[in-house]
Amino acid sequence: MKSYKLYIDGEWVNSSSGKSFDTENPYTGEVWAKISRGNAEDVNRAVKAASSAFQGDWGQTKPTERGKLLNRLAEVIEKNAEILGEIEVRDNGKLIAEMGGQTKYLAEWYRYYGGLADKVEGSVIPSDKPGIFNFTRYEALGVIGMITPWNSPLLLLAWKLAPALAAGNTAVIKPSEFTSASTLEFMNLIEEVGFPKGVVNTVTGFGLEVGAPLVDHPNVDKIAFTGSDVSGQKIYEAAAKKIMPVTLELGGKSPNIVFEDADFEAAVMGAISGIFAATGQTCIAGSRLLVQKSIHDKFVERLINVAKEAKIGDPMSTETHVGPVTTQPQYQKIIDYIEIAKKENAKCVLGGRPYTGPGARGRQFIEPTIFTGVTNEMRIAQEEVFGPVLSVIPFDTEEDAVRIGNDIDFGLAAGVWTNDIGRALRMSEKLRAGTIWVNTYRAVSFTSPFGGYKRSGEGRESGKDAIKEFLQVKSVWIAQQTSTENPFIMR
Ligand code: NAI
Ligand code: MG
């Protein structure tokens, strides 16, 4: 059986407790690797290494050099994309059909921010103070703690690590206890590329044993986190005690809104992609499907017929559409929400049970599930399920769609299906979410800012401004000649 150590200061080391924990393949239910169980002492070691690297050579590395390293990393990622993809499938149950492309695509984040590394420019400010020259410079923050969830470990790491390194920071990474292996394999690539010791470190373990001490550590300068809103809030509170900046990406309950004038078949596919892709385990899931009343019944009928055909089973098969749920607790949570929906008198028109048909192994399969007759006040409409469970909510007018769409604590994304350009523009303006998709769904790129309104988070990832999330600006004033003006008044 494979056994992974911690990666600290350029070395593979045992956890100070000597303990480890199992990681499972969610498809087979088998334990396939042992992961080191880190603790606060390991966090200390990693932060010390990252601080020394930041204060030492890495802090002095030319931006162009950092860019070259990131570009080299992009190449190495492409070369190893297949292996990384297979590990995501084995440890997480992600589809090989999706991972084949996604692990290769990761390289683009490193390339994009590698290119940006030497284009971070301060400015000369036309000062109103005679005789004083004023300019700004952008400086790295220092040590960034990166805490990632189980649903897309390497992708969500790239969104943090690429801009943070481009900006000149160092990193201590804490992947999810359910899916640590791909991040650890990724450390081999970091090593191969030749990043100096201590620039990138990974400490595996549990949220309270590794994540919390990382957040609390006095020498950690920022936390970049993706995960549940509950953990996100705890991290925000802990960060407040240190007055430490954070970026938080906390999931959602996104409305996917279908108008009667939409391209019917494209909208059906968009609704399917919004909720059943990745077994519904995505923060951007279009889990509230708002359908205009005039087409509601016809739309639901077609949706059921398409969803029924989804092939459930082995994530390593390129034919599979819906794989296993990644973790046992997540499986239970989905089952519980299906019960909640039934008790709320939502009508289950598809699925609603564990899947035990052909292709199912282990215990973690759930049938693609659709509830109709959902009202927006129900828990099944308001709370993130993070599984293949869709709530269909009918609406009358455009105003209703906006009101229902926004009547939620979250604000990560929204989909709009219409052929009316005016309506598309009005909806894009009125929906309160960080990403709006019109006549498409799940489009995400390194070029475009991503993040949440409201309870979906704080800060943005991806796009050129995201590098600023890992920098702080300094204003420098230089007098052109010394003066002996009244020292008791402001200059
Ligand atoms: P989580 O928020 O509990 O864990 C995410 C990461 O934070 C993990 O690495 C975990 O070890 C760490 N963590 C947990 N508590 C912490 C603390 N107090 N301080 C520092 N680090 C801490 O999410 P989990 O358990 O992986 O999934 C639970 C739910 O979160 C899911 O059911 C889903 O609803 C949601 N979720 C949302 C994601 C998103 O992309 N927005 C991704 C994964 C989960
Ligand atoms: Mg696993």
Can you give the pLDDT of all 491 residues of the chain as single tens digits?
A: 999 999 999 999 999 999 999 999 999 999 999 999 999 999 999 999 999 999 999 999 999 999 999 999 999 999 999 999 999 999 999 999 999 899 999 999 999 999 999 999 999 999 999 899 999 999 999 999 999 999 999 999 999 999 999 999 999 999 999 999 999 999 999 999 999 999 999 999 999 999 999 999 999 999 999 999 999 999 999 999 999 999 999 999 999 999 999 999 999 999 999 999 999 999 999 999 999 999 999 999 999 999 999 999 999 999 999 999 999 999 999 999 999 999 999 999 999 999 999 888 877 999 999 999 999 999 999 999 999 999 999 999 999 999 999 999 999 999 999 999 999 999 999 999 999 999 999 999 999 999 999 999 999 999 999 999 999 999 999 999 888 888 898 88
Q: Which atom of ligand 1 is nearest to the CA of 384?
A: 34
Q: Quick one: tokens of 64?
A: 């162009």
Q: Report whether residue 468 contacts ligand 1, using a CB cutoff of 6 Å.
A: no
Residues at Cβ < 5 Å from ligand 2 ion: 23-24, 91
Residue among 21, 176, 216 whose CB has most ligand 1 atoms within 8 A, to mutate = 176
Q: Which atom of ligand 1 is nearest to the CA of 412?
A: 41
Locate 57 and state its tokens.
Answer: 């050579």
- Taking the C-alpha atoms of residue 88 and residue 107, their distance in angstroms, rounded to an integer, is 16
Is there an atom of ligand 1 within 6 Å of 53 CB? no
To which residue do tokens 């046992």 refer? Answer: 328
Residue 212, ligand 1, Cβ within 6 A:
yes
Distance from residue 227's CA to the centre of ligand 1 (Å) = 4
Ligand 1 and 251: CB distance under 6 A? yes
Tokens of 148: 């990632």
Please give the distance, rounded to the nearest whole angstrom, from the Cα atom of residue 384 to the centre of ligand 2. Answer: 22
Chain region(s) in the chain for CATH 3.40.309.10:
255-438
Does ligand 1 lie within 6 Å of residue 173's CB atom? no
The per-residue pLDDT for 483 is 83
- Of 155, 142, 273, 151, give the one whose Cα is nearest residue 220: 142
Superfamily (CATH H level) for 2-250+456-476: Aldehyde Dehydrogenase; Chain A, domain 1 (3.40.605.10)
**Contact assessment for residue 156 and residue 149, using Cβ atoms and an 8 Å cutoff:** yes
Query: C-alpha dihedral over 24, 25, 30, 34, to 10 degrees?
Result: -40
Cα–ligand 1 centroid distance for 267 (angstroms): 31
Continuous segment of H or E residues that includes residue 34: strand 31-36
Q: Which ligand is nearest to the CA of 364?
A: 2
Q: How far apart are CA 50 and CA 198, in angstroms?
A: 5
Q: Which residue, 278, 319, 307, 283, is CA-closest to 369?
A: 307
The whole-number pLDDT of residue 347 equals 98
Distance 347 CA to ligand 1 centre (A): 30
Active site residues per annotation: 249, 283
The answer to pTM > 0.95 is yes
Residue that is written with structure tokens 């607790």 in the block: 329
Among protein residues, the one whose CA lies closest to atom 9 of ligand 1: 176
Check pocket membership of 231 for ligand 1, CB cut-off 6 A: yes
Q: Are strands 124-125 and 132-140 parallel, antiparallel or unpaired?
A: antiparallel
Please work out, in degrees rounded to the nearest 5, the angle formed at the alpha carbon of residue 228 by the alpha carbons of 311 and 151. Answer: 35
Cα separation, 53 vs 65, in Å, equals 15
Enter the tokens of residue 319: 């034919």
CATH code for the structural domain at 255-438: 3.40.309.10
Strands 170-174, 2-4: pairing is unpaired
Which string of DSSP letters, residue by residue, matches 400-416? HHHHHHH-SS--SEEEE
How many A from CA of 146 to the centre of ligand 2? 19
CB-neighbour burial class of residue 343 (10 A; exposed 0-12, middle 13-18, buried 19+): exposed
Tokens of 160: 């943090």
How many CA atoms within 13 Å lie on the side-chain side of 67?
13
Compute the distance between CA of residue 23 and CA of residue 52 in angstroms, rounded to an integer.
Answer: 32
189 lines ligand 1 (CB under 6 A): no
Q: Are strands 457-458 and 246-249 parallel, antiparallel or unpaired?
A: antiparallel
Q: Which atom of ligand 1 is nearest to the CA of 207?
A: 11
Residue nearest to atom 41 of ligand 1 (CA): 251
Ligand 1 atom at shortest distance from the alpha carbon of 385: 34
Ligand nearest to the CA of 461: 1
Q: Where in the chain is the domain with CATH 3.40.605.10?
A: 2-250+456-476
User: How high is the pLDDT of residue 359?
Assistant: 87
The rounded radius of gyration (Å) of the Cα atoms in the chain is: 24
**In ligand 1, which atom is closest to the CA atom of 215?**
20
Task: Compute, in angstroms, the gap from residue 177 CA to the centroid of ligand 2.
Answer: 8
- Dihedral sign of CA atoms 273, 274, 278, 279 in order: negative
State the residue for tokens 């990138």.
Answer: 200
pLDDT in the model for residue 363: 73
Q: Is the CB of 247 under 6 A from ligand 1?
A: no
How long a stretch of residues is the chain? Answer: 491
Pick from 231, 337, 450 the residue to mutate for probing ligand 1's pocket: most ligand atoms within 8 Å of its CB. Answer: 231
25 C-alpha to center of ligand 2: Å?
A: 5
User: Could you give the CA distance from residue 355 to residue 363 in angstroms, rounded to a whole number?
Assistant: 9
Q: Which ligand 1 atom minimizes the distance to the CA of 282?
A: 40
Is 455 close to ligand 1, i.e. is its CB under 6 Å away?
A: no
Q: Rounded to an integer, what distance in angstroms lies between the CA atom of residue 150 and that of residue 178?
A: 6
CA of 27 to the centre of ligand 2 (A): 9
